[in-house]
Amino acid sequence: MNSLITPKTKKGIETRNRLLEAARTVAMKFDGQIEIARVAKEADVVASVVHRYFGSKNGLVTAIVDDYYDRLNKEIFTLDLHKSMDWMESEKIRLKMGIDFMYEEPFTRVIHGQFARAPEVASRERERIAAVITRTAKGIKRAQSLGTLPSHVDADLAGAAMFGALVQVISHALSRKRKPSKDAVFEVMWRQVAASVDMPS
């Protein structure tokens, strides 16, 4: 079964989710390394079941990356906050929620660490990050059209700077023996966000 096809039965959906959870667990146990046999053992199924749902190791890896970004998008980036408030105000809320998600999600450390160095992961993650940047740039352009952000700012570059910085700052924070507080991360990132759109923080 192709990794992009969602099973339609309750049992099929539950099995696929269990396999994804097993794959995340394996990746966290083995420093980002995933093998079909290990995933099957973790999920207590035969390897052919993993192949049936994801087709190959690449299909499984793609599904893991998609699952992470789907959950991130659902909780953070698909929220349409701009319509009800100022862009800076809404982005401050979105940034706090993004940091909360990435700090609390155990797989963040893996997906932005050793796991991301695998070619199949890097390729898919680039696509998902590009989509986030495009969505962020769209919000900036809308704020510019309303006159709440400077028109001279390159929205696409600003979007890339904002999310790129968030990934790097979170990755560094999670790699430290003593993790900085989420508030400390927010303060650093908010200055970056404001600078990206040439606004005071």
**CATH code, domain with 37:** 1.10.10.60
Read off the DSSP letter of residue 9: S
- Directed axis angle between helix 57-72 and helix 47-54, to 10°? 60
Position 4 in a domain: no
Position 129 in a domain: yes
Residue 182 tokens, joined: 């989420």
Based on the fold, state whether residues 68 and 101 are members of the same structural domain.
yes
- What is residue 184's predicted lDDT score, i.e. its pLDDT? 97
Based on the fold, state whether residues 51 and 72 are members of the same structural domain.
no
Do 198 and 148 meet the contact criterion of CB atoms below 8 Å apart? no
Based on the fold, state whether residues 51 and 82 are members of the same structural domain.
no
- Please count the structural domains in the chain: 2
Position 162 in a domain: yes
Position 201 in a domain: no
Query: Distance between CA atoms of 22 and 75, rounded to whole angstroms?
Result: 22
Based on the fold, state whether residues 43 and 84 are members of the same structural domain.
no
Based on the fold, state whether residues 102 and 47 are members of the same structural domain.
no
Is the pLDDT score of 64 beyond 70? yes
Based on the fold, state whether residues 19 and 74 are members of the same structural domain.
no
Based on the fold, state whether residues 153 and 73 are members of the same structural domain.
yes
Question: For residue 177, with 0-12 CB atoms within 10 Å meaning exposed, 13-18 middle and 19 or more buried, which class applies?
Answer: exposed
- What is residue 79's predicted lDDT score, i.e. its pLDDT? 64
- What is residue 82's predicted lDDT score, i.e. its pLDDT? 54
Query: How confident is residue 137, by pLDDT bands cut at 50, 70 and 90?
Result: very high
- Give me the phi and psi of 112, to 5 degrees please: -105, 15
DSSP sequence for 72-125: HIIIIIT---TTTS-HHHHHHHHHHHHHHHHHH-TTHHHHTTGGGGSHHHHHHH
Based on the fold, state whether residues 189 and 154 are members of the same structural domain.
yes
Q: Which domain holds residue 80?
A: 64-196
Q: What are 43-57's pLDDT values in tens digits?
A: 999 999 999 999 999
C-alpha distance from residue 183 to each of 173, 180, 189 (Å):
12, 8, 10
CATH of the domain at 118: 1.10.357
- Nearest CA to 3 out of 55, 46, 73, 68 is that of 55
